[in-house]
Structure 1
Amino acid sequence: MNATTGRRRPGRGRVRAAAAALCLLAGALTAAASGGTPAEALTPPVSLTADDLTTWQTNGIVWSMAGSDAGVVYTGGTFSTVRPPKAAPGTSERPAVNFAAFDAATGTPTDCSLSFTLSSGTATVRALALSPDQKTLYVGGRFGSVSGVGVSNIAAIDTATCTPRQDFKVAVSATVRALAVTADTVYLGGDFNSVAGQTRNKFAAVTTGAALKAWKADADEVGRAVELTPDGKHVLLGGNFFTVNGKTSHALAVVDATTGAVTKSYPAGFIPDTSTVQDLTTDATGFYTANEGTGGGVFDGRIALNLSTFEQRWRDTCLGATQAVLVHQGVLYSGSHAHDCATMGEFPNQPRKHLLAQSVDDPKLLPWFPDTNDGIGEPVGPRVMAQADKDGHHYLWVGGEFTTVNGAAQQGLTRFADGPDTGAPWVPNVSLSTVAAGKVEVNWQASFDTDDGELTYRIYRDGASTPVHTTTGRSVFWDRPQLRWTDTDVAAGETHSYRISASDGTNTSAKSPAVSATVASAAEKYPAKVLADGASLYWRYDDTSTFAGDTGGGRDNGFVRNSPTRLLTPAAVAGPSTAIGLNGSNQYVYSNKRHPQPTRFSVETWIRTTTAKGGKIVGFGSLTMQNSTQYDKHVYMRDDGRLVFGVKSGSTRTITTPTAYNNGAWHHVVATQGPGGMALYVDGKLSASTALYTGNEKYDGYWRVGGDNLNGWPNKPTSNFFAGQIDETAVYPTALSSSQVSAHYALRTAG
């Protein structure tokens, strides 16, 4: 990396610029497109928006990139045409045989056109790197000719004329996958075992005049990444290998730039045998790996290492193979298909996310979440990143297998810039609570913005244009905490409506739909008792929007999945209340907060059903967006309508009601566990209990209502999901007493 800006040096997708020029540009690189002002809506240190810019597309996979100082981005891969933005495959295409060059600022093709072909088989361009003087573009891959000029898997292109250099001919025996270039040397890595007729296993070096150098870093498996350290003294190697020059070092090694001798090896286990290094990048003080694993016990994340010692600074443990890494202004951007970052305190296993950002000093994910799909090929989404500057702006280019970007059709290529930020936050979801006298509690689920974690919320009452309250809150896509403001400037019997907007500082969402409530003159007795008994989560299901507001003090709102039926009446409890209806196949609610194992707890809810397929009613599980892999502390209904309360304590431990409760009437269900064991109450009375089991399975998880895994549990019902109505769900950090349970049930008609 260049020590001034942290930009990538020449290599796969690397760029270089003179230090003096970069110093002058440093303050301008975050300028927004209009007026030269910074992109205000971004959360530092992120300096790129998540808004994708219009960019031409390919009809295949982009494997390699390099950005030039002249604002040109060169791309290579396995494709045959390019087409305009929004053009469907097969329309408005122009030939581009495994190579295309684009204007970094406009996303349109330049007039540099080359064709990389092979007489037999499929040609591909897997590596691109510019010389320090930008006069030569080196190309590696699997090909036998460039626009009719015979070559052997590596070529040099004169950038001024966009023609192959006839004086650079090197025979490489197999695919070249990685390149890094100095003023006099080209380092290459790949599948090959010979270069220029001499043995070179997976890594080699040639002069810029095409002469093989004595430099040797022979490896036993494929070389996938080559990167120079900023001082030029060492070469960083990445790939599948287990030895370099006979010395044990799996997937990563540091070698001398002059001789190839191993300077730093990495022992077995530093990167698991099941994982490889797919890409490398550097900045002034560190280098960073992109890792991919296969099978069990893999490492798929990123590692940051210090250049001073070549030792680890940090690593993340997200699952979902990382393919590309790039540093810009202190942020490590990566392309992967991350789907589970729970082990590092981030999002649990769920649909893949393909573009992430982290500080070079800390693996915590930063609020930058543009996205692609997996696409074609393997498929894994993004494969490569590059960056370039033009007209005072900075551009991050991404290539790969994807066919959509931010939900819209876009194949093979996309790009992002330092401004303008045009994406508004999501419209907030709002819920009102009037369980206490003389006030209205305005609850809302924090919104989400793809490139800002701190949002400003404005609350508008009764259609006014001036907000009655303004506040801020942090959120990311998997953690959208519930926020609350209590309006006490109201009187009993008055009806008021509320709307909320979310702003990132530059863009503001539409106001939420108006939600109204009548101010109570006295506290509602049932919810007042639930709250008085210490409910840490309390979902009443009176919300009109797509979340379950928490009336309790924990503010642990629920994510409502797959559009259950809302506002059903009559509800379980008298008063201005409604219930939620679940279809028994895929609808459920999960808590926003991830909780440690509760050693003692109570779960309480009301159910109404006639199902003969059973299903989980309420429980604790390790996942949110799919069935959990760890699951207990739950109440489920058997096919015959009887209720089961179960925990795992060594094995599954259950108690079961003697009576069925699928008769179409509302029933009050409470399950408790504490020092006295397990108890299951129905309609205010103890129905089943045991003093034998006071423990449950230890794992962090989420409270879920309406469905989750039940594999391995006694009398497993036909369905994991509950078909029926649910109301008034509460969770307590204590085991409720029998008198508390009966008191709750007695208040069902109290209003």
Structure 2
Amino acid sequence: MSRPGRGGVFAAVLSLAAGVLTVSGVTAPPAAALTPPVGFTADSLATYQTNGIVWSLAEANGVVYAGGTFTGVRPAGSPAGGNTTSAVNFAAFDAATGAPTGCSLSFTRSSGTSTVRALAVSPDKSTLYAGGYFNAVNGTGANGLVAINTGNCTLRPGFAPNFGATVRALDVAADGTVYAGGDFQSLNGRTRRFFGAVTAAGAVTGWNPDVDDPGRTLKVTPDGQNVLIGGDFFTVGGTNSHALAVTSAASGALTRAYTGNFIPSSAVIKDIITDTASNGWYVGGEGAGGASFDGRLAMGLDTFDQRWRDTCQGATQALRVYRGVLYAGSHVHDCSTMGGFPNQVRKHLTAQSVDDPAMLGWLPDTNDGIGEPVGPRALTVSSRGGRDFLWVGGEFTTVNGVAQQALTRFANAPDTGAPSVPVVSLSAPRAGEVRVSWRASLDLDDSLLTYRVYRDGGSTPVRTMTGSSLFFSRPQFTFTDTDVVAGRSYSYRITASDGTNTSALSPSFSVTAAASSSPYAQRVLADGADLYWRYDEAGGAFAADASDNEDGGVYMNAPSYRSTPSAVAGSAALALNGTDEYVYSDRLHHYTSPTPYSIETWFRTDTGRGGRIVGYGNNIGSAQGHTSGISDKLLYLTDNGRLTFGVQVGSTSSRPTVTSAASYNDNAWHHAVATQGPSGMRLYVDGVSVGSNPTAGNRSYNGYWRVGGDAMTNGWPNRPTSTYFAGQVDETAIYPSALTAAQVAAHHDLADTPSGPGDTTVTLTPTEDAYVNSVAANTAYDDNQLASRGTTAYLSYLRYDLPAAPAGQELKSARLTFRTSSDPTAGSADSHTLVPVTGAWTESAVTYNSRPSLAVTVLGTISGATAVSTDYAVELDAPALGGALGSSYSLALTSGGTDSLRIWSSEVATAAHRPQLVLTFGAE
């Protein structure tokens, strides 16, 4: 489909989603353990936990300090309430082991709830400053801020500033000045509204930004000349500058204000960090509503101008830069405002380059946890023992789905997490082809993975390729195997690797290579379908896209697969329960009105509750049951069975529709096509136009196709009782053009003419097979190979139980498919013949001396089978076999030449390598 308008910061991600990186048949560089520039694995390490919220983290000399609202710590794996050691609002941990050090300080107050909200370390790492809401530390009086010697974990005497309320933010300049922000309006009895500073000795400095609402974060610039401040405020020194400002480090006077709607009035700034390597500073925001600011800003340290803006929604709480990557703690759930994924399940830890806000493939996760809840609250990086660690603190209670409260950490190596196992779908769309499709795997710290395709149980891949995926866009990959023989069955398995860790093999699935193509399917593809779900999977969660656009789908809640009868012969249908079963596209789409498109599907139902058959919506499907807040381009059935095609015009309440006069809930298959283009909307049923509307426009937004159900607002005309469809669907396709009436009629008519009208194909494996050798004339050879050679004679025998012809049909064709063995002499330049066996024999007893008699009739001749470990086929005389239908039938493999042919027998371990007799029956 047409996808213009993909500009902006998510262009790289959307190009991935649109298939730019999801190549079929292109071998890319191998994956690495971590996809650059990601620096940390997503494997959480064993770390002590707290029994409450961690608000702040700092590090010095390989020790990580945590401040918050908690009373104790416990080992990783210990449940809440058990094995707890006292730690009142403060704890220190070995960065490399995650275990507590000997540093133990209790932050308390005589009334109210004490808490440590801010931690900062002096540039020389000798002093840790802790701020919050407390009036005693280990029983010694302290009011909101203390200095701690990192060498011996003792309070520095004489440092006793007095803050009038909670300290929420701290940073320390190279000259020892301690800058603070928070809820206070006085410092050492002097007026300091929400921001103030003290010397290393605790004396108040002249730094006074004088803001009108609380401060939440601050950072001294690397040159020491300015202090970057963030919070709730609207003015700085009486001048407008909402939530963000650059102030003089000496006086607090404005260096740079941010006015207008730079930070929307509904947003506050929660974190600011600097990074000298990128000459940048980075800002995290928390807002309310889609027009607010919940994401991240990249700013320049030279000009203080914005470099880029991430407007994803999800309340950013904490930031940290490590080797050119900006790591963030938030609960990101909607990036539609910047051309990214629409609203879906929350993710709490993300990464992006300092140069580009496009999301990187690093996605360990926490839950929201206790408190507000928002998940992570603090990040810091610490080094110890030659390794680097990213520490995360917050209010979460799980990490990567495992119970772990308030603290976790990740290292720069090693990566031990394997990608998820690929989910595979097989099809045989054309003669001489098997199409192996799979849903991209997911690895929490690797977006680029290497896939290896194995055929028929082999240990050497027949295809190796790489491709990228992210949690909101897991594209389909496809390998087309052309080294196949019609009528022969082949099995495939796939692994995914990040370069270090490899998934388990996918389950083995088999498919029989087709002798011809489906005219219906080929016409759908020829007319340009760029999403085509045929629903031929036998199970699982992956719906393969038969088009070259590779827009795979996800089956939700296990609908009934392989439903019969299908709408198009040779293809199965999908049955949906009308309650919670549906299919959604696994890749993000973008539509810009008035781009033309067509929706096509077959449906069959007798429901009296209606239902949404096919539609487009702004929310990805998920196990959490997410439905779309925005939807249009709908094909739905009303309660009385009338078919309706509707769109939404822009963001207005206008929802023009086309509705059929007839009802179609008659339990018969019906072909539905809805088109919209410059000439407006048109609805076709069973190849004939049933109505039109001149509306050419619809709603432009990022979203996903769904089949079987999604939300529908009350504004839709004749809204059905059920928004989920109860019935069967088949052959759903989406086109980037408005199909013509002639194309629609042709599709409908071709459904009655599948490949070989009414053909029945039966594939048989030998009930017995063996070979004999004149050199060992009394030996019975019942092993995994068969052989044929004229001199020093080898002969082979195969027995098949032939079925009777289906009613009204006769045998039209027969072929023997086989695979030469791996023996170096398996291939043969000679011709070998297949003839009927007229004498008696058994697999276990036949020898050269007791070999059965043969007929002179030649059923088929093998020639050109010169390669080893290769599939071949030979056409057989169908009329000659036709007279033996319904009986046990034997044939012999013979030769008059000197070059032996060796093929696998029915005893070989790989089923697809066994000699198979393929019979095709058709109308008499």
1:701 Cα deviation after fit: 3.1
Distance 1:519-1:173 versus aligned 2 partners, 3 A rule: same
Structure 1 residue corresponding to 2:671, chosen from 652, 659, 668? 668
Residues 734-745 of structure 1: pairs in structure 2 closer than 5 A: 734-745=737-748
Q: Who is 1:657 aligned against? A: 660
Distance 1:268-1:282 versus aligned 2 partners, 3 A rule: same
Partners of 2:172 and 2:595 lie apart in 1 by: 59
1:111 Cα deviation after fit: 1.3
State whether structure 2 residue 170 is matched by structure 1 residue 179. Answer: yes
Partners of 2:275 and 2:550 lie apart in 1 by: 42
State whether structure 2 residue 422 is matched by structure 1 residue 415. Answer: no
For residue 648 of structure 1, give the secondary structure of its aligned residue in structure 2. Answer: coil
Residue identity in the other structure for 2:555: V
Q: Who is 1:706 aligned against? A: 708
Q: Who is 1:191 aligned against? A: 183
Partners of 1:694 and 1:231 lie apart in 2 by: 58
For residue 333 of structure 1, give the secondary structure of its aligned residue in structure 2. Answer: strand
1:293 Cα deviation after fit: 0.6
Mean CA deviation greater in 96-105 or 342-351? 342-351
Could you say which structure has the larger radius of gyration?
A: 2
Over residues 641-689 of structure 1, what are the superposed CA-to-partner deviations in whole Å (9 max), with x where a residue is unaligned? 2211112347211122222222333222222223443332223333x21
TM-score, normalised with respect to structure 1: 0.92
Q: Who is 2:631 aligned against? A: 631
Contact 2:324 2:354 in 1 (8 A): yes
1:270 Cα deviation after fit: 1.0
The number of aligned residues is 710
Distance 1:521-1:413 versus aligned 2 partners, 3 A rule: same
Distance 1:571-1:260 versus aligned 2 partners, 3 A rule: same
Mean CA deviation greater in 105-114 or 689-698? 689-698
Mean CA deviation greater in 451-460 or 554-563? 554-563
State whether structure 2 residue 265 is matched by structure 1 residue 270. Answer: no
Structure 2 residue corresponding to 1:226, chosen from 218, 233, 253? 218
Contact 2:51 2:72 in 1 (8 A): yes
Q: Who is 2:683 aligned against? A: 680
Structure 1 residue corresponding to 2:479, chosen from 485, 492, 513? 485
1:474 Cα deviation after fit: 1.2
Distance 1:691-1:354 versus aligned 2 partners, 3 A rule: closer
Contact 1:677 1:689 in 2 (8 A): no
Residue identity in the other structure for 2:638: R
1:159 Cα deviation after fit: 2.2
Q: Who is 2:605 aligned against? A: 609
1:40 Cα deviation after fit: 4.3
Structure 1 residue corresponding to 2:153, chosen from 133, 137, 162? 162
1:295 Cα deviation after fit: 4.1
Q: Who is 2:130 aligned against? A: 139
Partners of 1:141 and 1:287 lie apart in 2 by: 25
1:251 Cα deviation after fit: 0.9
Q: Who is 2:271 aligned against? A: 279
Residue identity in the other structure for 2:721: T
1:156 Cα deviation after fit: 1.5
Q: Who is 1:475 aligned against? A: 469
1:260 Cα deviation after fit: 1.8
Partners of 1:697 and 1:132 lie apart in 2 by: 54
1:743 Cα deviation after fit: 2.6
1:502 Cα deviation after fit: 0.6
Q: Who is 1:551 aligned against? A: 546
State whether structure 2 residue 567 is matched by structure 1 residue 572. Answer: yes
Residue identity in the other structure for 2:630: Q
Partners of 1:674 and 1:165 lie apart in 2 by: 75
Over residues 214-249 of structure 1, what are the superposed CA-to-partner deviations in whole Å (9 max), with x where a residue is unaligned? 222211110111111111121111111111122221
Over residues 535-568 of structure 1, what are the superposed CA-to-partner deviations in whole Å (9 max), with x where a residue is unaligned? 1211001123312111112211113333323222
Over the matched positions of the two proteins, sequence identity in percent amounts to: 59
Q: Who is 1:376 aligned against? A: 370
Partners of 2:606 and 2:96 lie apart in 1 by: 61
Residues 707-722 of structure 1: pairs in structure 2 closer than 5 A: 707-711=709-713, 712-722=715-725
Over residues 52-94 of structure 1, what are the superposed CA-to-partner deviations in whole Å (9 max), with x where a residue is unaligned? 11111111100011111x2110001011111111111011111
Partners of 2:322 and 2:477 lie apart in 1 by: 34
Residues 493-504 of structure 1: pairs in structure 2 closer than 5 A: 493-504=487-498
State whether structure 2 residue 648 is matched by structure 1 residue 645. Answer: no
Contact 2:341 2:702 in 1 (8 A): no
Contact 1:556 1:593 in 2 (8 A): no
Q: Which runs of 5 or more structure 1 residues have no equivalent in the other structure? A: 1-38
Contact 2:708 2:725 in 1 (8 A): yes
Residue identity in the other structure for 1:551: A
Residue identity in the other structure for 1:208: A
Structure 1 residue corresponding to 2:735, chosen from 722, 725, 732? 732
Q: Alignment RMSD, CA only?
A: 1.6
1:691 Cα deviation after fit: 4.8
Contact 2:336 2:702 in 1 (8 A): no
Mean CA deviation greater in 642-651 or 138-147? 642-651
Partners of 2:37 and 2:694 lie apart in 1 by: 53
Partners of 1:537 and 1:459 lie apart in 2 by: 24
State whether structure 2 residue 353 is matched by structure 1 residue 359. Answer: yes
For residue 343 of structure 1, give the secondary structure of its aligned residue in structure 2. Answer: helix
Partners of 2:137 and 2:305 lie apart in 1 by: 41
Partners of 1:235 and 1:534 lie apart in 2 by: 58
Residue identity in the other structure for 1:706: G
For residue 652 of structure 1, give the secondary structure of its aligned residue in structure 2. Answer: coil
Partners of 1:655 and 1:725 lie apart in 2 by: 22
For residue 595 of structure 1, give the secondary structure of its aligned residue in structure 2. Answer: strand
Mean CA deviation greater in 131-140 or 232-241? 131-140
Structure 1 residue corresponding to 2:87, chosen from 79, 96, 100? 96
Partners of 1:357 and 1:599 lie apart in 2 by: 34
State whether structure 2 residue 602 is matched by structure 1 residue 599. Answer: no
Contact 1:117 1:144 in 2 (8 A): yes
Contact 2:341 2:588 in 1 (8 A): no
Partners of 2:679 and 2:259 lie apart in 1 by: 51
Over residues 421-451 of structure 1, what are the superposed CA-to-partner deviations in whole Å (9 max), with x where a residue is unaligned? 0111111111122121111111112211111
Residues 280-319 of structure 1: pairs in structure 2 closer than 5 A: 280-284=272-276, 285-295=279-289, 297-319=291-313
Contact 1:149 1:164 in 2 (8 A): no
For residue 527 of structure 1, give the secondary structure of its aligned residue in structure 2. Answer: helix
Partners of 1:226 and 1:738 lie apart in 2 by: 65
TM-score, normalised with respect to structure 2: 0.75
1:609 Cα deviation after fit: 2.1
Residue identity in the other structure for 1:570: P
For residue 322 of structure 1, give the secondary structure of its aligned residue in structure 2. Answer: coil
1:512 Cα deviation after fit: 1.0
